[in-house]
Amino acid sequence: MLRQKRVAAIHDISCFGRCSLTVAIPIISAAGIECSAVPTAVLSTHTGGLTGFTYRDLTEDILPIADHWQSLGLEFDAIYTGFLGSFEQIDIVAEFFRRFGNEKNLILVDPVMADNGALYKIFPADFPKGMRKLCEKADVIVPNITEAALMLEEDFKEGPYTKEYIEGLLKRLAKLGCKQIVLTGVYFDESELGAASFDRATGEIHYAAAERIEGYYHGTGDVFGSALLSALVNGRSLTRAAEIAVGFTVGSIRRTKNAGTDIRFGVNFEEGLLKFAGEVK
Ligand code: PXL
């Protein structure tokens, strides 16, 4: 019998709106992986277009959780982190990596902080510098093009993109030190959208694309990151993992679009979980 894999997911819990832990836990679990959670904050909803949300910061709880887990001798096959609310949380997550990261496990950082050319309003202008430092400690990073440009201190470019531009971005990101990069929001024409992946060890660049669906749906980055992480932990190659994650995310967006759901309410990934589980196990 193969030992069951275990992941530590370090994200906030946005109680409504399908992102962060409410997305990571079910997706990772559907892949047959045990998902341990470190909630970094509790919000009534995410901050993307919904106003008046509550925000209880749990920064002070993160290291005591790590202390307790260390006392229990817990180990993880991967550590997965996304939205972080402050520089202090970034430093504490880096400490978590020092304690639980090792040669064998995988650290995946999604530097959630920006989209469509703009840093999210809740973050200070120098936040990308902090996220960049965290990305330097990761094995795999999953930025969108805005986050990539911010971390590289480059101007944001509107799409459609050229392969030359995307491959340049991937190579400049690789200099941060991570082994693999999956860049999201990549498109070369208006009909398709997907991800570009780069493996530093082989130099291979791969594109995973699917139909482009109109509208900015919230939480898709977390659906994508959770699916990618699950596929990697289950031993899929980077290119296959990116294809699985693109397919699962686009299916979730299509279902949501067809239902006419408010784009701020997250995407219907739930009804895709059965198919995803079959692909990823
Ligand atoms: O989907 C990323 C995310 C996670 N958590 C919170 C957010 C966002 C994006 O806006 O606001 C609280």
Pocket of ligand 1 (CB under 6 A): 12, 14, 19-20, 43, 46-48, 83, 112, 120, 219, 221-222
Which of 38, 40, 47 for a ligand 1 pocket mutation test, highest count of atoms within 8 Å of Cβ?
Answer: 47
pLDDT of residue 1: 72
User: What is d(CA 165, CA 126) in angstroms, rounded to the nearest whole number?
Assistant: 24
Q: 211 C-alpha vs ligand 1 centroid, how far in Å?
A: 24
**Residue 117 three-state SS:** coil
pLDDT given for residue 42 in this prediction: 98
Residue in 184, 173, 155, 156 with CA at minimum distance from that of residue 245: 184
Q: Looking at ligand 1, which atom is closest to the CA of residue 85?
A: 12
- Residue-wise pLDDT tens digits, 147-171: 999 999 999 999 999 999 999 999 9
What pLDDT is recorded for position 47?
Answer: 94
**How much is the average pLDDT of 49-74?**
97
Task: Identify the burial level of 260 via C-beta atoms within 10 angstroms of its C-beta, where 0-12 means exposed, 13-18 middle and 19 or more buried.
Answer: exposed
Confidence at 124, pLDDT banded by 50, 70, 90: very high
* Atom number of ligand 1 nearest to Cα 222: 1
Q: What is the pLDDT of residues 243-274, one digit of tens each?
A: 999 999 999 999 999 999 999 999 999 999 99
122 CA: nearest ligand 1 atom: 11
Helix (H, G, I), strand (E, B) or coil at 82: coil
pLDDT of residue 259: 98
User: Has residue 53 got a pLDDT over 90?
Assistant: yes
Average pLDDT over residues 73-97: 98
- On the question of pLDDT at 2 being above 90, the answer is no
Q: Which of 144, 61, 46, 62 is nearest to 97 (CA)?
A: 62
Is the pLDDT at 3 greater than 90, yes or no?
A: yes
Distance between Cα 73 and ligand 1 center (Å): 31
pLDDT for 127 beyond 80:
yes
Question: With 90 as the cut, is the pLDDT of residue 62 above it?
Answer: yes
CA distances to 99, 110, 172, 182, 225 from 144, rounded to whole Å, are: 28, 9, 14, 8, 11
Question: Ligand 1 centroid vs 44 CA: distance in angstroms?
Answer: 11
pLDDT (tens digit, 9 = 90+) per residue, 185-196? Answer: 999 999 999 999
Residue 89 is predicted with a pLDDT of 98
Domains of the chain, earliest start first = 6-271 (3.40.1190.20)
Which whole number is the average pLDDT over 12-39? 98
Residue 226: which pLDDT band, with cuts at 50, 70 and 90?
Answer: very high
